[in-house]
Amino acid sequence: MDTSQARSAPKEPGGLSDPDYSGLDVAVDNAQLIVIAPNGARSGLDSASGELVQGIPGSSAVRDAIDNDVTGEPAESFSMQVEISKPAEGMYRIVVLGVAGKPKEKELIVNPFSVDGSDQPVIRTPLQLQQGSRAEFRVHFMKAPGSISRLEKVEPGGPR
């Protein structure tokens, strides 16, 4: 899964001031994913209802899987991605839940973009998840050009 597509800063017609091309993209394969904004809004796969939610303004949440066209068998793997356009600066919570029958080794990918659309360093974190296990992270998102957003793991029993 490649979330490193740079956001281009298109020319603003009429010279609009202070355009915002910032973004925060979060992805993981074969696990449930929910992103919680600083204001508590949520986007991703709600584990209680099993529904995709897109409560963060400017966000999209996608669960992507490809079934076998020949046999009709359901997909054996899937990808989860939450993309947030023009996110507010601040601390976002990322919760990843392990699912049954999927490889235990996973990778969380966090791809932040600055207000001018420039890439910040992509953050890749390996995960070891069993069915029903949970990993939680905080990403400190900053959008000023030249900023580097940070990701930290929240240890079980730690602050939320």
Question: Is 10 within a domain?
Answer: no
Question: Is 12 within a domain?
Answer: no
Q: Provide the pLDDT confidence category of residue 66 given band limits of 50, 70 and 90.
A: confident
pTM score, two decimals?
0.83
Question: Is 129 within a domain?
Answer: yes
Of the two residues 83 and 132, the one the predictor is more confident about is 83
Question: Is 118 within a domain?
Answer: yes
Sheet hosting strand 134-141, strand order edge to edge: 52-54, 42-45, 31-36, 90-98, 134-141, 150-154
Question: Is 26 within a domain?
Answer: yes
The structural domain count of the chain equals 1
Question: Is 104 within a domain?
Answer: yes
